[in-house]
């Protein structure tokens, strides 16, 4: 699912087991992806700043259904930014939980410093690197993207990770140009959603405190 793929792009599960992205950006990107999963399945839509419920029918996946239920049960909150902030609080636990359940991830808890970040390692190499490989190839070879990958690319870009995905500096100008065209052609709800993630990430940089 989309949030799983975003996690695998943003977390170095095949090397150090540490995140490639700072925590605030990571959790906001994951929150955007969790909403995105429901938008792609026509359960929700985003229009301007509003998040609207279209259909309460469950997806039969516990994290997505819990998110959908939360949104359906609080109709007084329609602001996308409110939901991004709310979901960001638990998005990392939700998504790693999902990947641990299906056995794609292993968690290593630091022995000495308990407060330090858990490390996550992929159990299989191929599936773990596939999302970022797929994005890189599509962007560099200028291949058409389906809505799912468009949104993944948009969220990755909103979190400032495009250059992390396109490792070769020579390929970056091509990739950036093509990405801009892809983003411009994205369906409106996906475009609005990724823009809010981008703004939330930017605001997090501006109000950063320790």
Could you tell me whether strands 50-53 and 105-108 are parallel, antiparallel, or unpaired per DSSP bridges? unpaired
Helices (H), the chain: 2-10, 23-40, 62-73, 80-88, 91-101, 125-141, 147-158, 162-165, 172-185, 188-206
Among 163, 167, 173, 177, binds other proteins (CB under 8 A): 163
Position 124 contacts other proteins (CB under 8 A): no
- Select the residue interacting with other proteins from 21, 33, 34, 40 (CB under 8 A): 21
* Closest alpha carbon to 131 in 24, 45, 13: 13
Please give the size of the binding site for other proteins, defined by CB under 8 A: 40
Q: How far is CA 158 from CA 2, 21, 70, 180, in A?
A: 15, 12, 25, 12
Per CB under 8 A, the segment of 37-45, 106-114, 135-143, 193-201 that binds other proteins is 193-201
Binding mask 48-77 for other proteins (x = CB under 8 A): -x--------------------x-xxxxxx
CB of 6 to other proteins, least distance (A): 13
Could you say whether residue 133 binds other proteins (CB under 8 A)?
A: no
C-beta closer to other proteins: residue 109 or 207: 207
Contact characters 75-104, other proteins, x per CB under 8 A: xxx----xx-xx--x---------------
In terms of Cα–Cα distance, which of 131, 168, 185 is closest to 11?
A: 131
How many Cα atoms are found within 13 Å in the side-chain-facing hemisphere of 68? 23
Q: Per the structure block, which two tokens stand in for 28?
A: 């906001």
- Applying CB under 8 A, the residues found at the interface with other proteins are 19-22, 24-25, 49, 70, 72-77, 82-83, 85-86, 89, 158-161, 163-164, 192, 195-196, 198-199, 201-210
């Amino acid at each position: 699912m989309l949030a799983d793929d975003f996690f695998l792009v943003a977390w170095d599960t095949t090397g150090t087991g540490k995140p490639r992205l700072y925590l605030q950006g990571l959790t906001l990107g994951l929150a955007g992806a969790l909403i995105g999963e429901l938008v792609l399945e026509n359960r929700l839509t985003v229009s301007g700043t509003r998040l609207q419920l279209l259909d309460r029918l469950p997806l039969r996946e516990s994290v997505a259904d819990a998110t959908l239920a939360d949104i359906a049960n609080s109709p007084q909150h329609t602001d996308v930014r409110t939901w991004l902030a709310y979901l960001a609080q638990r998005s990392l636990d939700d998504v790693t939980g999902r990947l641990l359940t299906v056995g794609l991830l292993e968690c290593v808890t630091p022995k000495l410093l308990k407060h330090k970040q858990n490390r996550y390692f992929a159990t299989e190499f191929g599936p773990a690197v596939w999302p970022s490989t797929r994005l890189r190839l599509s962007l560099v070879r200028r291949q058409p993207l389906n809505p799912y990958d468009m949104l993944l690319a948009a969220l990755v870009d909103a979190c400032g990770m495009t250059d992390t995905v396109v490792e070769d500096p020579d390929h970056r100008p091509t990739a950036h140009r093509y990405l801009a065209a892809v983003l411009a052609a994205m369906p409106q709800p996906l475009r609005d959603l990724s823009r809010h993630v981008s703004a939330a990430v930017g605001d997090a940089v501006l109000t950063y405190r320790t």
